[in-house]
């Protein structure tokens, strides 16, 4: 049986989530939190609005997530020096270490996922998925 692309994307993403769920618990994260850590790592300190946009969630959802992450010592909120109405969210050292552990778990999964792919095929797949994501309105950093 040959599956359509949307079905293969959905099934692969679903399987990825199922395979990585134990890794989330292992490093002490919950769903959605790795994306926040990655954004703070890539962009440095940023506002709640920037994080919500990057994570593609509404501001209320990101606020609850940030509360939990702050309680767990993964990030800190500080008053923004240029706009006192907003807070600046910063990654802590614990947050940085946790992100590194998460990335190692993801790399292990990715190696399994791409077994038998040549380096050229891996690059092509990455480029095609990025282009497909942008085609439907996604923004990549």
Contacts of 25 (CB under 8 A, 6+ apart): none
In a domain, 31, yes or no: yes
130: three-class secondary structure by DSSP:
helix
In a domain, 140, yes or no: no
Q: What is the pTM of this model?
A: 0.86
Distance separating alpha carbons of residues 131 and 87, to the nearest angstrom = 33
pLDDT at 85: 76
- List, as one string, the DSSP characters of 57-119: --HHHHHHHHHHHHHTTSEEEEE-SS-TTSEEEEE-HHHHHHHHHHHHHHHHHHHHHTTT--H
Average pLDDT over residues 107-135: 96
Q: In this structure, what CATH number is given to the domain that contains residue 87? A: 1.10.10.10
In a domain, 44, yes or no: yes
Q: How confident is the model at residue 107 (pLDDT cuts 50, 70, 90)?
A: very high
Burial of 84 (0-12, 13-18, 19+ CB in 10 A): exposed
In a domain, 71, yes or no: yes
pLDDT at 79: 85
Look up the domain containing 25 and give its range: 5-135
In a domain, 141, yes or no: no
Q: How many domains does the chain contain in total?
A: 1
28-79 pLDDT, tens digit each: 999 899 999 999 999 999 999 999 998 888 888 899 999 999 999 999 998 8
């Amino acid at each position: 049986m040959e599956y359509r692309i949307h079905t293969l994307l959905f099934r692969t993403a679903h399987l990825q989530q199922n395979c990585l769920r134990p890794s989330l618990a292992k490093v002490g994260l919950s769903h959605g939190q790795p994306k926040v850590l990655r954004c703070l790592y890539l962009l440095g300190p940023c506002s709640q609005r920037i994080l919500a946009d990057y994570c593609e969630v509404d501001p209320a959802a990101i606020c609850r997530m940030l509360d939990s992450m702050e309680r767990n010592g993964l990030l800190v909120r500080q008053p923004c020096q240029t706009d006192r109405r907003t807070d600046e969210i910063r990654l802590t050292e614990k947050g940085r270490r946790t992100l590194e552990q998460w990335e190692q778990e993801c790399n292990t999964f990715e190696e399994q996922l791409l077994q038998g792919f040549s380096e050229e095929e891996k690059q092509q797949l990455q480029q095609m998925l990025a282009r497909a994501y942008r085609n439907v309105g996604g923004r990549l950093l």
